[in-house]
Structure 1
Amino acid sequence: MKAVQILGERGHHQIAVTNLMARPVPRGHEVLIRVEAAGITADEVGWVEVYKTPTRIPGHDISGVVEQLGPDYTGTLSVGDAVFAMLHADRGQGQAEFAVTREDETAAKPATVSHAEAAALPIPVVTAWEALHRHAGLERGARVLVTGAAGAVGRMLVQLAALLFDAEVVALASARNHALLRGLGAAEVVDYSAADWEMHVGKVDAVFDTVGGAVLAKSWRTVKSGAVIVTVADPPPPWAFGKQVPEELQDHPGVRYVYFVLSTDSEALAKVAALIDEGKVKALPVAEFPVDEAVEAWELAAKRSRGGKVVIKFGSGA
C-alpha cells in the first residue's frame, strides 16, 4: 500500500512517500480502516514514538471507512461504516491507505463534514474535551483564558468551553483572527502581539494554554487565587510530569497547575461529532493535499501561521 514515512532520526528527519508498505491485518478486537484522509501534527517529527514503530509511518488523526473487523471484534461498527479516529501515541501509523484502530479510538464520522475535515478533528477534539472535563474542574459561567486560540486545539477549546460550560472565554490570538474567534463564542479577544497582553486579560478562573514558553509564563499573571492552569504545550514546561514546582507558584500559591498527554477517547469523538452535525460546533478549516504531495503537505504543516489543519488525502472522495 501507499504510505508516508519519516526517514532518518529525530532532528535529522526526512518525509517520504512509499508504495511498498504491507497492508496491515486487524487482530483480536481491532478494526481495519480504509483511510480516506489523515491529518498532520507537525510536532510528531520530534516524538520518539514514531521512530519506534516498525514502519515509521506517522499519523494519529484519520477518517475513512471500515474495511475489515478483527476476528474477536464485538463492538457496534460494521464494514462500510464511515468513521474517524485518534490513534494512540505509541501506535500511530495513520498516514497510509489502510490503518488499524481500536474501538476506544474510533467513532462514527460526523455526517455533515467531509473525510478531509473529519481527519483534522480527533486530536484537537480529544485534547479540548479532556482539558475541560478531566483536568480543569470548571464551573459553569467561569471566566477562562485560551492561549493560541486560533489554532486547532484553541478553536475547539473556545467553542466547547462556551457551549458546554457557558464560560466567558477570553481568546488570545493575533488581531486578524479576532472576528473569527468571536464568531466561535469568545466573549473577549486580546492581541498576543501586545507586549503587555496579560494586563488586558484581567483575572480568570482557568487558563487553557496551547503555546507554552513565554506565553504560559505570562498567563500566570492573569489567574485568580484558586484558579487552574492547564497546558498541553510542546515542548512541555519544566514542571511537567512532576519534575519540579513552577517558579510562579511562589506568587500564586493557591493555583493548581496541570500538564497532560491526551488519552484515546471514542466517547469524546462521538459527542463532538453529534454537536457538529447539530450545527453547534464548527469544524476546522483544512488545507488538502493528495498523498503524492505529502512532502509539500508536511512543509505547510510546519508553518505556524498556516491558517488551518493540513490533511493528506488517500481516497478520491475525501
Structure 2
Amino acid sequence: MKAVQILDVSSPQVTTNYSMAKPIPQKAEILIRVHSAGVTGDEILWLQSYPTLSPIPGHEVSGVISAFGPDYSGPLKLHQEVYAMIAPGRCEGQADYVLCLEDEVAPKPTLISHEEAAALPIPILTAWEAVIDHGKLESGMRVLVTGASGAVGTFAVQFATRLAGASVIALASSRTHEHLKQLGAHETIDYNTPNWENRVRGVDLVFDTVGGDVLTKSWETVKDDGVIVAVGDPAPSWVVGRGKAVEATEHPNVRYVYFIVSPNAERMSKASAMIDAGSIKVLAVKPFPFHKAEEAWAYARQRNRGGKVVIDFTGADESEA
C-alpha cells in the first residue's frame, strides 16, 4: 500500500512511499480502507516516540471498513462508510489502510464527502470535550472562544450556542466575523485590536485554542469563579512543569485545565446525526492528491490558510499511472 512517512520530526519533513505492508487486523481491531485523511499542521510534533521504524502520521480518516479482527463483535458492518480519530501515539492514518480500535470509529455523516468527514474528528471531539466536559457548559453562560475561526473554534462556537444556548464571544480575524455570526456567535472581536481583553468582562468560560499571549490576556476576561480551558500548542508552562499558573495568584478561584483530546465513537456518532440534520455546519477543506502529500503538509502548517487540509487516497495518482 502507499503511505505518507515521517523522515524528520524536528523539521518536520515527510515523504511518500508506495511499498508499505498492508496491516492485518488482530483481536477486535478494525481495518479501514482510507478514502481521505486529515492533516493537522502540528500533529507531527506530537510524535515524541513512535513504535515503528518508518512512522506514518495521521489521526483522522474517512473511508470504508475493509475487515475486522476475529474478536470484533460491535455494531459496525463490513463495507460501512465510517470516519475515525486514531488515538495520540498510534496514528498511521495517512495510508491506504489503517487499523483502528472500536472507540475510534463511528458511522460517517451520510450527507458529506469523505474529504469533508476526514477533517472533522479532532475539531469536533476537542470542541465537545472542552465546552461540555471541562467547561461544564450550561444555558445562559457567557463563553469566550479564542481562535474562533479555526477548525476547533468553529465547532466550539456551534456547540456552545446550539447544545446549551450560551452567549458566545468569538475572537478572530475581522474577515471571518460574518461567518462566525452565521454559526451562532453573538459578539465578534478582532484579535488584532489593541487591549481587546479590556472589552470583555465577566466571562463564565474561556476556551482558548491559541495559547501564548492570547491565553495570558484571557485571564483578564474571566469572572472570579469562571473556568479557562486551553488546548493551544505549545502547552502553557504550568502544564509542562506541572505547577501553578502565574495568573492564578491574582485569580485564585478560577479553575483552569489543559487537555489532549481522546477518541470517542459515541460522540462522533452524535455529531454525525447533527450534521445530517443540518444543525451544525462542517469545515471547508483543501484536498491534495497523495503524490502531493509533501505540499499538503507544507500548506497545513501555514497560518491563516483557507480550509483544512486532507489527502485523497482514492484518486488516480500520477506515480501509479
- On whether the aligned pair clears a TM of 0.5, the verdict is yes
- Does residue 293 (structure 1) correspond to residue 292 (structure 2)? The answer is yes
Count of aligned residue pairs for this structure pair = 316
1:51 CA displacement: 4.1
Inter-partner Cα distance in structure 1 for 2:52 and 2:160: 35
Change (3 A) 1:39 1:233: same
Q: Deviations over 1:232-276 (max 9, x none)?
A: 111100111671111111111110000011111011111111100
Partner of 1:25: 24
Question: 1:142 Cα shift?
Answer: 0.3
Please give the secondary structure, in 1, of the residue aligned with 2:67.
strand
Q: Is the 8 A contact 1:2 1:21 kept in 2?
A: yes
| 1:3 matched residue in structure 2 | 3
Provide the TM-score with structure 2 as the length reference: 0.96
Supply the distance in 1 between the matched residues of 2:231 and 2:167 (Cα, whole angstroms). Answer: 21
- Secondary structure of residue in 1 paired with 2:12: strand
Q: Partners of 1:193 and 1:232 in 2: how far apart?
A: 21
- What is the letter of the counterpart of residue 3 of structure 1? A
Secondary structure (helix, strand or coil) at the match of 1:165 reads: coil
Asked whether the 8 Å contact 1:205–1:226 carries over to 2, the reply is yes
Q: State percent identity of aligned pairs.
A: 52
Amino acid aligned to 1:179: E
Instruction: Check conservation: 1:44, 1:50, Cα contact below 8 A.
Output: no
Contact 1:63 1:118 in 2 (8 A): yes
Equivalent position SS for 2:22: coil
Q: Which residue of 2 aligns with 1:101?
A: 100
How far is 1:141 from its partner? 1.3
> Could you tell me which residue of structure 2 aligns to residue 253 of structure 1?
252
Query: Which string of whole-angstrom CA distances, capped at 9 and with x for unpartnered residues, describes residues 113-156 of structure 1?
Result: 10000000000011011112211112211000000000000001
Which amino acid letter does the alignment assign opposite residue 80 of structure 2?
A: D
Deviations 1:144-188, CA, capped at 9 Å, x for gaps: 000000000000100011000111000000000000000011000
Structure 2: tracts of 5 or more residues without a match: 317-321
Partner of 2:262: 263
- Who is 2:127 aligned against? 128
Query: How many angstroms apart in 2 are the aligned matches of 1:285 and 1:13?
Result: 25
Which residue in the other structure is 2:171 paired with? Answer: 172
Letter paired with 1:170:
I
Letter in 2 for 1:276: I
2: CA distance, partners of 1:87 / 1:54: 19
Indicate conservation of the 8 Å contact 1:287/1:311, yes or no.
yes
State whether residues 148 and 172 of structure 2, in contact with CA within 8 Å, keep that contact through their aligned partners in structure 1. yes
Equivalences for 1:217-296 in 2 at 5 Å?
217-240=216-239, 243-296=242-295
Tell me, yes or no, if structure 1 residue 114 matches structure 2 residue 113: yes
Q: Which runs of 4+ in 1 moved over 6 A?
A: none
Equivalent-residue separation in structure 2 for 1:63 and 1:49 (angstroms): 25
d(CA) in 1 for partners of 2:287, 2:11: 26
Q: Which whole-Å CA distance do the structure 2 matches of 1:158 and 1:242 have between them?
A: 30
Structure 1: gaps (5+ residues): none
Partner SS state of residue 248, structure 1: helix
Q: How does 1:157-168 map to 2 (within 5 A)?
A: 157-168=156-167
Deviates more, 1:156-165 or 1:132-141: 132-141
Match of 1:57 in 2: 56
